[in-house]
Amino acid sequence: MDSAVERVILELQAGIIDQLHLLEVSPADIKPDAPLFGAGLGLDSVDAIELIVLLETRYGIKLQDPRKAREILTSVRTMAEFVVARGAATRA
């Protein structure tokens, strides 16, 4: 297991709760491989914009291609893997 990815997963779980004001959710409730949209965490398109803002403010990553953003925002793990692959994990 990649420790950098695991560290970013923990950061993102807490960041998602903070960014989306999910007061009744704990980081452990957000499973790394569960879908963020639909049947998973149940986020919507407005939440997707907030996740993009989270990636930009916390890691300096700008997502401008909607198709690429959809792939990256699939789960917390896909977000974390993207952050680490971009070398942005060290910025947080």
CA torsion angle for 27, 32, 34, 40 (degrees, to 10)?
20
Long-range contacts of 49-54 (CB under 8 A, 24+ apart): 50/19, 50/20, 51/16, 51/19, 51/20, 51/79, 53/19, 54/12, 54/15, 54/16, 54/19
pLDDT at position 41 = 87
**Structural domain boundaries in the chain:** 3-91
- Whether 5 contacts 32, CB under 8 Å: no
What are 29-55's pLDDT values in tens digits? 999 999 999 887 889 999 999 999 999
What are 53-78's pLDDT values in tens digits? 999 999 999 998 888 999 999 999 99
Global confidence as pTM: 0.91
CATH architecture of 3-91: Orthogonal Bundle (1.10)
Amino acid, single-letter form, for residue 21: H
